[in-house]
Chains A and B, each alone.
Chain A
Amino acid sequence: DTGVSQDPRHKITKRGQNVTFRCDPISEHNRLYWYRQTLGQGPEFLTYFQNEAQLEKSRLLSDRFSAERPKGSFSTLEIQRTEQGDSAMYLCASSDPDRVYNEQFFGPGTRLTVL
């Protein structure tokens, strides 16, 4: 399978704990995005990487959130001191800048539940 992969698929944690999610983009896609989707809503942009550089962060990404893409390949999203409001689906997408359209391909997501 050469699509975007995310791990874990589901995470249940207690309020106050730290969690980390991983995203592996499609090979050779140098653009990588994180989005958050709550129930009944469309995905909302969180942050964007081009290679290893984090070029934009949404205001939704509070100080408790941090994302990295250390070697320009996989990326991690960490949430510290989780809150119940962090419960959501966290989606990763990647795109190839050489294509005519900047088509973003999404992974299956990580469903986070904060108790």
Chain B
Amino acid sequence: QQQVKQSPQSLIVQKGGISIINCAYENTAFDYFPWYQQFPGKGPALLIAIRPDVSEKKEGRFTISFNKSAKQFSLHIMDSQPGDSATYFCAASKDSGGSNYKLTFGKGTLLTVNP
């Protein structure tokens, strides 16, 4: 059972454009939703994260939009740059109530930003 579904699998945008990656989750107990960026041969790096008590969080060019009723969240990268070319993973975990905090990841989106 895939608990976090991510789309698209790959995405090509032009420099300066907006990149949008979507995720949907099934487990309503999830209460922490981070996004990670991963370059080839490296470990995932935390980009931005959100809790379901807010609908949007912005950090620089990165914005998470969260829709609790639809059980969906998305990452928007504004003014995309070639250096943003990487694989992006959404994830979810249950962060409260004595949980083990394990992250459940989506399958990833390979983003290519053309110059």
Contact = CB atoms under 8 A, between A and B. Distances in A.
Contact of A42 (B41, B95, B108): B108
B101 A48 contact: yes
B66 interface: no
A31 interface: yes
B43 A101 contact: no
Which of A33, A43, A105 has the largest count of B CB atoms less than 10 A from its CB? Answer: A43
- Chain A interface bracket (under 10, 10 to 19, 20 to 34, 35 or more): 20 to 34
B107 A106 contact: no
B18 interface: no
Given A91-B44, A108-B43, A43 B32 contact: no
Contacts of A101: 32, 34, 49, 51, 95
Given A42-B108, A102-B32, A106-B43, 16 more contacts: A4-B43, A35-B103, A40-B107, A41-B107, A42-B6, A42-B106, A43-B44, A43-B89, A43-B105, A48-B102, A56-B102, A104-B34, A106-B36, A106-B45, A106-B46, A108-B42
Interface of A: 4, 6, 31, 33, 35, 40-45, 48, 55-56, 58, 91, 95, 101-109, 111
Interface of B: 4, 6, 32, 34, 36, 41-46, 49, 51, 89, 91, 93, 95, 100-108
25 contacts: A6-B43, A31-B101, A33-B102, A35-B103, A40-B107, A41-B108, A42-B4, A42-B91, A42-B105, A42-B106, A42-B107, A44-B105, A48-B101, A48-B102, A56-B102, A101-B32, A101-B49, A104-B101, A104-B103, A106-B36, A106-B46, A107-B43, A108-B42, A108-B43, A111-B41
